[in-house]
Amino acid sequence: MRGAGCCIGVDDVPWLQFSAGPAKKGSEILPPNQVLDFKNLYAENCAGCHGAEGRGGAAIALADPVYLGIADDAAIRKVIANGVAGASMPAFAQSAGGMLTDKQIDVITSEMRSRWGKPGILDGSNPPSYAAKSGGNIPQGEAAYKTYCASCHGASGQGDSKGSAITNDSFLALISDQGLRTIVIAGRPELGAPDWRGNLPGKPMSDQEVTDVVTWLTSHRVQNPGQPYAAANVQH
């Protein structure tokens, strides 16, 4: 029993009730710039376009060992940090106007490879280089397109029952030259599109053929994508 002169105890005032013990490990809420857990970083910044667990979505699957085999860490990190000008990939580095620190970008880059890469997957396959080494040729690119791509994407790239339209002006406005090259080389396995070795069985695309196809595709870009009329005809 309390004596007549006893002070009020914490049980009498709910807001005074508290735990004197230390906070449980992991219960603290970290500031956004201190989050270094890959799953959280990927889910918050990458999954919206590249799909849960890197399985692909509006953008390529990042959990593709072939893609991770042709793109080194420096190339991947550069895209994450700086984005892709003129395409739908934004910059995530704080130094480029994004929200992620250099350390967070390092975590995403390294964890993608450690979780989804397969060392040696391209051994003996002589893949085309990630970036183009030379200029492309439009007529040769059209010929290569007809050989390797038309059976799925249609004779002029406007799409078919097997593949999407890839000379569509809106599509080309949302993807960079490097993005096209990456898809030609690595494919879109989540969509059933083969890599550079699978378009024509027994005849993989050469590095120059990849370059030429991309050059032919980009020759279809227009000044004002998505408009059914020429910019010169617009009345102001």
Confidence (pLDDT) at 28? 73
Confidence (pLDDT) at 22? 56
Confidence (pLDDT) at 108? 98
To the nearest 10°, the Cα dihedral for 73, 77, 80, 86?
Answer: -90
Q: Angle at Cα 150 formed by Cα 182 and Cα 49, nearest 5°?
A: 35
pLDDT above 90 covers what percent of the chain? Answer: 77
Q: Tell me the mean pLDDT in the region 99-116.
A: 98
For 90, residues 6+ apart whose C-beta sits below 8 A from its C-beta are 83, 98
Between 20-34, 40-54, 87-101, 196-210, the lowest mean confidence (pLDDT) is in 20-34
Average confidence score pLDDT of the chain:
88
Which of 27-32's residues contact partners 24+ apart within 8 Å by CB, and which partners?
32/99
Cα dihedral sign, 108-110-113-116: negative
Confidence (pLDDT) at 206? 98
Per-residue burial over 163-197, b = 16 or more CB atoms within 10 Å of its CB, e = otherwise? bbbbbbbebbebbbbbbbbbbbbbbbbeeebbbbb
Q: For residues 87 and 72, what is the distance between their CA atoms, to the nearest angstrom?
A: 21
Which of 105, 111, 135, 121 lies closest to 67 in space, CA to CA?
121
Q: For residues 226 and 232, what is the distance between their CA atoms, to the nearest angstrom?
A: 15
Q: Which range scores top for mean pLDDT: 2-11, 14-23, 81-90?
A: 81-90
Which phi and psi (to 5°) does residue 100 adopt? -100, 145
Confidence (pLDDT) at 157? 96
User: pLDDT for 44-64, tens place per residue?
Assistant: 999 999 999 999 999 999 999
Judge whether residue 221 has pLDDT over 70: yes
Q: Are 99 and 32 in contact (CB under 8 A)?
A: yes
Indicate the pLDDT class of residue 23, thresholds 50, 70 and 90.
low
Reading the block at residue 198, the tokens are 């699978």
Indicate the pLDDT class of residue 19, thresholds 50, 70 and 90.
very low
Q: Tell me the mean pLDDT in the region 11-36.
A: 64
